[in-house]
Amino acid sequence: MGGELGSLVASLLEAEAWVGQLCGIDVDPPRRRLRKAEFHRIEPSDRERIVDVVTAFDPHVLIHLAVWEPHARAGTNHARQFTDQATTSIVGAAAECRSLESIVVRSGIEIYGRRKQSLTRPDESVAAHPTSDFGQMVQRVEAVAGAAGARVGVAVGSLRLAPVLGPHVPSPLGRLLRQPAVPFSVLADPPFTVVEDADAARAFVAAAQRRLDRPVNVVAPGAITGLQALLRGRRLPLPMIGPEWALTRRLSHVLGAPIPDHVLELMHRGRLADGSLALEALGVTPLVSTAAVIDRLYAWPSVVRVPKAIKAVA
Amino acid sequence: MAQLIELPRRPAAAVAATTESLIITGAVDEWGRDAHLNKILSPLLRLRWDVSVGGLQHLPARAGALLVTNERRLSLSPLYVSWALARATNRPVRFVGRPDSAPLGAALRRFGALLSDPDEVRGALRHGELVVMAARATSHPRHAGPVDHELIGAAITTGVAVIPVASMSSVMGRAARAEVGAAIRPRRKRRGPLADLEVAEAVQRHLQKMLDELGGVHTGMAPIDWLAEG
């Protein structure tokens, strides 16, 4: 509930008539004003407190969004550790609750992987073969939730999100694309898709309301290539062939926009997914197209420095 | 007294509109096909092939269909057939057979190419796409090779029509032809994978019949036949 997506989901849930009480746990405080929700600031490693809070609340629906994308808010190792800890504690605690009916977890289309001969637009029936750290992380989240759900007999749904972009969402892809000069794979320049944070949040609310019990891809309509994206933002394209990517990654890290392996994979091999099931399974589908999300990414104002007002001295 | 204040507008829409018109290619579709690039490069393809298209009434108006065409070795018939049909029907037509490597596979994807994988083809057909696949390439321009039954199976399990498209082109000249035939109707209803094999064989037979009907010189020597078609 402390991250941008969590806060957004919580604020949408507050407006839903079917939602009674709302309780959230995160390591950061909520980023929006929440009127109904009860918030607990707990570290993901503090399993005992998490279990106490969750079991005392005894939820009907658990929405698990505590997935740290590598280099979004934490480095890859920390992201993996926090995600594992949060998943084990929160899903484990929810499984102890007698009222629990449904678990909805955040996953990503990185779960399909981009190995050779992998499908251009995998749908939910395609087996997961993650080829990046983040893909493996979300696969584990799905596995843990699935195992818990099967054990206690509750529905488990997972929303496989395309890379989430939004005005305040920490995203390594968004950060990379907003650099003044952006590297892209000149030989491949593959297409990828994204999803806006508001669309992702609506999908979570719908999944919770419908007690989703299957994985569903949530991707914005349309696709874009790296070169097209950075040209839309009027960034300087840096064509890359292959070996120089290693140097570029290091340089980009130093400049404040680390490129984790799943973003590098996206720039080299693309990342698309078939999102047509969303309408049937959730009743909602992302409204903002990939090109529009990218345009909005570049339309966000940069840091605005307001000069101090100089008092006139008489 | 209320005062009307004009708030600064977010530049997103304006930026999008401007860039849309200025950038060469703004976005690609959900399979990576670049409609704008196709439009730009269309005159170049027209320099190589002048394709006359027939039998368009056999194509479904909105639903997907698997179109099977014959291929003479190195004739690139799936490419020019899909390009010609896309122009004639004004809807994207994809073709099977891109390698999963850069830069060739990446370039072909911009033209609408798909991997030669039954799941990939099934996905496209399920979304109402027209997909062109080639029978096995032959050395003779009027011979239809065997058809991959696994790709046919993708169409059968999706419930879309399988349609033969006889294609002919010349090594030397620009003249080419793409004749769309009627959808294949299997003689027997099968529940299992036998249907794939039987439909694949029926498509090959239909293609061969269509190629025979198209006529042409049959000297028995392929190079002379090709020259005669120029």
Nearest Cα of chain A lies from the Cα of B216 at a distance, in angstroms, of 39
Nearest Cα of chain A lies from the Cα of B46 at a distance, in angstroms, of 25
Query: Contact A291/B31, CB-based, under 8 Å?
Result: no
| ipTM exceeds 0.90 | no
| Structure token pair of residue A242 | 């292959």
pLDDT reading at B131 higher than 60: yes
Nearest Cα of chain A lies from the Cα of B104 at a distance, in angstroms, of 8
Enumerate the residues of chain A whose CB falls inside 8 A of the CB of residue B123: 119-123, 274
Query: Contact B28/A185, CB-based, under 8 Å?
Result: no
* A288-298 tens-digit pLDDT: 999 999 999 99
- A285 at the B interface (CB within 8 A)? no
Write out the DSSP string of A131-184. -SHHHHHHHHHHHHHHHHHHHHT-EEEEEEEPPEE-TT---HHHHHHTSSEEEE
Query: Contact A223/B29, CB-based, under 8 Å?
Result: yes
pLDDT reading at B22 higher than 50: no
Nearest neighbour of A116 by CB, restricted to B28, B100, B126: B100
pLDDT, one tens digit for every residue, chain A (314 residues):
778 899 999 999 999 999 999 999 998 888 888 888 999 999 989 999 999 999 999 999 999 999 999 999 899 999 999 999 999 999 999 999 999 999 999 999 999 999 999 999 999 999 999 999 999 999 999 999 999 999 999 999 999 999 999 888 899 999 999 999 999 999 999 999 999 999 999 999 999 999 999 999 999 999 999 999 999 999 999 999 888 889 999 999 998 899 999 999 999 999 999 999 999 999 999 999 999 999 999 998 776 677 776 666 65
The CA distance from B222 to A41, in Å, is 78
* A67-110 tens-digit pLDDT: 999 999 899 999 999 999 999 999 999 999 999 999 999 999 99
Closest CA to B114 of B101, B134, B127, B96: B96
The CA distance from A314 to A164, in Å, is 53
Closest CA to B45 of B86, B3, B1, B104: B86
Sign of the alpha-carbon torsion through A200, A203, A207, A208 = positive
- A304 at the B interface (CB within 8 A)? no
The set of residues, in sequence order, having a beta carbon less than 8 Å from that of A92 and lying 6+ positions away, is A47, A51, A148
pTM to 2 decimals?
Answer: 0.87
pLDDT reading at B6 higher than 80: no
The CA distance from B66 to B202, in Å, is 14
Rounded to 5 degrees, what are φ and ψ at B43?
Answer: -60, -35
